[in-house]
Amino acid sequence: MKDLKTTNTLLLILVIPLIFYILKILSFIFIPLILSMFISLLFLPIMRWLSKKRVPRFASIIIIVLIIAAGLKIGGILIKLTSEEIIASKDVFFEKAEVKVMSFVTQAEDFFGIVRIEGDNVIQHYLKGKDTLKNFGSTINFISNTLTMTLMTVFFAVLLLAGSVNFEKVLNSTLFRLKYASVKTFRKIEKDLIKFVIVKFFISLFTGIGFSIACLFFDISFPLFWGLFAFVINFVQMIGSVISVVLLSLFAFVEIDFNSTLLFFIFSIIVVQVVMGSILEPVFMGKTFAVNVITILVMLMLWGYIWGIPGLIMSIPITVFFKIVLEQFPKTKIISELMAVPNINTKRKILK
C-alpha cells in the first residue's frame, strides 16, 4: 500500500504539468469553453425561473441569446463612441503630446549623452528599422482571434444552456458519490460566481465613471475611452487597478504640466480606485471570495502564463471553483484553508 501511494503521488506530479501544457496548447478551445461555462452559470437562474413560468426551453434560449446580443451591442456602441472621440480630437492631442514628449526626450538625451540628428523626428528616429507592417499584421490577427473566440464562447454557452452538459451530473459522476453533495457544491459555485460577477461589474462600472468624471473635471483628453478602459481592465484582480492608474497618470503627465493640478488628478483617480477596489468591493464580496493575496498572485501568474489576458480575467473564478471543491473533501480541506484569508479559527486548525 505504501508503494502504491508513492506511485500515485509520482504519477500525480507528472500528470499536473502535462494537464497545464495541454491547456496552453489547446487554449483556442479551452478558453471559449471555460468562459462559456461561467456565462451559462450566470444565466442558469434565469433559465430555472423561466422554466417555473412554463416558458418553453427554446424560447428561454432565445431570450438568453437576445440578452447576450444586447450586451455585445452595447459594448460595440461604447467602442464606436470612444473611437469617434479619439478621432475627433486626435490632431489637437498629438500636437500637444509631441511638444511634451519632445521636451522630455531632449532632456533624457542630454542626460544620457545620446546624439540625434538635428531636425530628425523623435518617433521616426527611435522607431527606425521597426517592421510596421508586421505589427499591423499582429494587430489584425489579435482582432480576428478575439472575434473567433467571442463567437465560439457564445456558441458553447448556448449549447450548455440548451442542456448539452449537465454540471450537476458531471460533478456527481466525477468528484462526488452522493447526489446531495454534488448539488450542494454546484449551487455554492453558482451562487458565488454570480455574486462575484455582479459585484465586480458594478464596482468596475463606478470605477470607470469615476475615471471619466476625473478626466472631464481636469480637462484630460478621451474621458470616455479612459472610463471604458478602467471598467474593462478592473476585471483583472489586483493588477488591473494598478495598470489603469499608472497608464492614466502617464497620459495625464503628457497633457498637464508637472504641478499641483497633475498631483491632484493622480490623487483623485487613486482615491476612486482605493474606495471602489479596497473598501467597497471587499465589503460587498464578504466571505464569498476570501482568498489570500499570495494565492491570488500565484494564480494570476499561472493562468496569465497559460492563457494570457483571458487567463488573467478568469483566474479568480477558477481559483474559487477549485477552493469550493477542495472544501468538500477532508484530505484536501487543509489546502482550501491555506488558500483562504487566514483568521483565528483557521490558524488554530493549521497549528493542530
144 compared with 174, residue with greater pLDDT: 144
Task: Return the C-alpha torsion angle 267, 272, 273, 275, nearest 10.
Answer: 120
Which pLDDT score is estimated for 208? 92
Which pLDDT score is estimated for 207? 93
Which pLDDT score is estimated for 181? 61
Which pLDDT score is estimated for 270? 93
Task: Return the C-alpha torsion angle 113, 114, 119, 121, nearest 10.
Answer: -140
What digits encode the pLDDT tens for the residues 81-140?
Answer: 887 777 776 666 666 666 666 666 666 666 666 655 555 555 555 555 455 445 555 667
- Binned at pLDDT 50, 70 and 90, residue 348 comes out as very low
- Binned at pLDDT 50, 70 and 90, residue 271 comes out as very high
What pTM was computed for the model?
Answer: 0.76
Give the separation between CA 253 and CA 332, rounded to whole angstroms: 50
Which residues in 295-308 are b (16+ Cβ under 10 Å) and which e?
bbeebbeebbebbe
- Binned at pLDDT 50, 70 and 90, residue 349 comes out as very low
Q: Are 85 and 225 in contact (CB under 8 A)?
A: yes
What digits encode the pLDDT tens for the residues 67-84?
Answer: 888 888 888 888 888 877
What digits encode the pLDDT tens for the residues 174-210?
Answer: 665 555 566 677 777 788 888 888 888 899 999 999 9
